[in-house]
Chains A and B, each alone.
Chain A
Amino acid sequence: DSGVTQTPKHLITATGQRVTLRCSPRSGDLSVYWYQQSLDQGLQFLIQYYNGEERAKGNILERFSAQQFPDLHSELNLSSLELGDSALYFCASSVGGLGPYEQYFGPGTRLTVT
């Protein structure tokens, strides 16, 4: 158990819908990262938040947005869902920013868009 929690574990929804994925980092971790894992794209970095502020952005679609709240939990919002958004979405957390800080991953949310 990494200490990172993600809910829900599984999500099945229809195209065009909007969903929210939730992540709680390990106690004491200030950085939260979101990754998408799909068969064709592999593991892709989406976005990072550090202590409530966006710090780094990857290939995140405009239909996707995220935020980190004062209690440091984070939410990833996916809207106008398409079949290709079906993937495993991971949240990870680390102590801080630059440095040898390993990222600890949550169990993931498996999103299926039908």
Chain B
Amino acid sequence: AQKITQTQPGMFVQEKEAVTLDCTYDTSDPSYGLFWYKQPSSGEMIFLIYQGSYDQQNATEGRYSLNFQKARKSANLVISASQLGDSAMYFCAMRGRGSRGSIQGAQKLVFGQGTRLTINP
């Protein structure tokens, strides 16, 4: 079974500073995917970034980058030059297999408990 652990329930950061949100995972699958989502107070889930387990390079999307350390089973999200609008809940997720194993198209996301990030002016 897949498991995602986010050990930081809350983080407070000054505007314009960089911030790292921690995520560790556990899986026995040789191939997997890791995702980060942002959930603002309005409630919607916004996809931020994806890292595949066989990707050689760390993923980057604008101000977001993923610090992927496969041997340590960690996939930390780094936000550079934080902005007030970055205040939100952040969820790390892993693409795992559904109950039917490897049936084509079977997958689900397993989420961590989330980190609430607050950016202070």
Binding site for B on A (CB under 8 A): 2, 30-31, 33, 35, 42-45, 48, 50-51, 55-58, 88, 90, 92, 96-98, 100, 102-108, 110
Contacts and interface: CB of A to CB of B under 8 A. Distances in A.
A90 B45 contact: yes
A85 B12 CA distance: 32
Q: Which are the 3 A-B pairs with shortest beta-carbon distances?
A: A56-B98, A97-B105, A105-B45
A48 B100 CA distance: 11
Taking each of A30, A105, A106, which has the highest tally of chain B beta carbons within 10 Å of its own beta carbon? A105
User: Secondary structure of the B side of the interface?
Assistant: loop
Contacts of A92: 45, 109
Nearest to A49: B105
B50 interface: yes
A114 B108 CA distance: 30
A90 B43 CA distance: 10
